[in-house]
Amino acid sequence: MKILFLFLFSTSALAQSFICHSYLNSTCELESCLFEIPGYSEPVSVLKPKVIKSIRLHLHGFSEKLDAQGNSLGPFNASYDWNNLKYNTWALAKAAFEARKPDSTELIFKSYAMESSSCLQGEMIVIPHSRGKCTTYKSLFKSPDDMSQFLDKVKSLSETRSQLPIHFSAHSGAGAVAKILFETDSSFAQSVSKVSLYDAFYQEGEAEALLAWTNSNSKKSLRVMNLAGGSPSRYAKVLGSARVLSNGSVITPIVIEKAAGLDHWQLVKQYWVDQTVVMKP
């Protein structure tokens, strides 16, 4: 049975709201939600298990095809990206989510098979949606403090306790935002315990910023998955081989050969859950 819940909250200056529905996964019961966060212009998808042990904050990659003038032509990959052209306002995105439209924001959870891992690991998955070539991310997450404030609003609205481990992940062009978030020794960077990146490095300095983060902070985990032969795999070479650092942090670069048959999106689905073990020499 699918049950729909609608919650509306007001603050002194801005209204914030979310809508959720619960359903039974084959492994556990989950709650899928769509959040409207003050100060963030796009919908935010949230997947909540009954028992929340950690938060996974995920930034997806390029989401729209654009014409020469920068106008949206629709989802970049309709198998993975919600119909951000058809549902281009909060009200339309909310209505599509409420009606369980197959091309609503909820598509990202289903297309990457995130539900089972959320159940098994107790991860509350938070995905702020972004326009174009990560345009929203780049305009609103200009500093670690911006991300901390965003995450605090999500925690407040979801009534999640603040001191939970944070797993940050990013796909494709969102690697540029990861650099901004981790290149300085901020409270946000310190609060993150694990980072997973999928074909995410497209410029010099991005891999270096994450390498410095693991070197400077103890007991962190950095997983970097890249398809062989692409630009991200070349930029990731600076990370070296998989190893445990003297401070207890773990670096796990993984290169997936073409013979594996994975594309840019299947890479995320296949390696969403960490199944690797790196032994200390």
**Residuewise pLDDT in 10s, the chain (281 residues):** 343 444 443 333 345 588 999 877 777 889 999 999 999 999 999 999 999 999 999 999 999 998 998 899 999 999 999 999 999 999 999 999 999 999 999 999 999 999 988 988 999 999 999 999 999 999 999 999 999 999 999 999 998 877 899 999 999 999 999 999 999 999 999 999 999 999 999 999 999 999 999 999 999 999 999 999 999 999 999 999 999 999 999 999 999 998 899 999 999 999 999 765 454 54
Residue 205 backbone class (left: φ over 0; alpha: ψ -120 to 50; beta: rest): left
Taking the C-alpha atoms of residue 278 and residue 252, their distance in angstroms, rounded to an integer, is 7
Give the pLDDT confidence score for residue 254 in this predicted structure: 96
Give the pLDDT confidence score for residue 163 in this predicted structure: 87
Pair 83, 104: CB distance under 8 Å: yes
Give the pLDDT confidence score for residue 7 in this predicted structure: 41
Give the pLDDT confidence score for residue 108 in this predicted structure: 95
Type of residue numbered 117: S
Q: DSSP label at 153?
A: H
Q: Which of helix, strand or coil describes residue 46?
A: strand
Give the pLDDT confidence score for residue 16 in this predicted structure: 57
Q: Using alpha carbons only, what angle is made at residue 29 by residues 23 and 34, rounded to the nearest 5 degrees?
A: 55
Give the pLDDT confidence score for residue 278 in this predicted structure: 52
Give the pLDDT confidence score for residue 25 in this predicted structure: 72
Pair 93, 105: CB distance under 8 Å: yes
Taking the C-alpha atoms of residue 24 and residue 21, their distance in angstroms, rounded to an integer, is 10
Taking the C-alpha atoms of residue 133 and residue 63, their distance in angstroms, rounded to an integer, is 7
Token pair of 37 as six digits? 């966060």
Terminal Cα distance for the chain, rounded: 51
Give the pLDDT confidence score for residue 204 in this predicted structure: 95
Q: Which of helix, strand or coil describes residue 73?
A: strand
Q: Would you kindly state where each structural domain of the chain is located, as residue ranges?
A: 1-144
Q: Structure pTM?
A: 0.92
Q: How many CB atoms lie within 10 A of CB 148?
A: 16
Give the pLDDT confidence score for residue 12 in this predicted structure: 32
Type of residue numbered 101: K
Burial tier of 95 (Cβ tally within 10 Å: 0-12, 13-18, 19+): middle
Token pair of 4 as six digits? 């729909």
Q: Using alpha carbons only, what angle is made at residue 77 by residues 22 and 137, rounded to the nearest 5 degrees?
A: 75
Residue that has been written with the tokens 């401070």 in this structure: 247
Q: At what angle do helices 206-216 and 175-182 cross, to 10 degrees?
A: 40
Give the pLDDT confidence score for residue 27 in this predicted structure: 76
Q: DSSP label at 254?
A: E
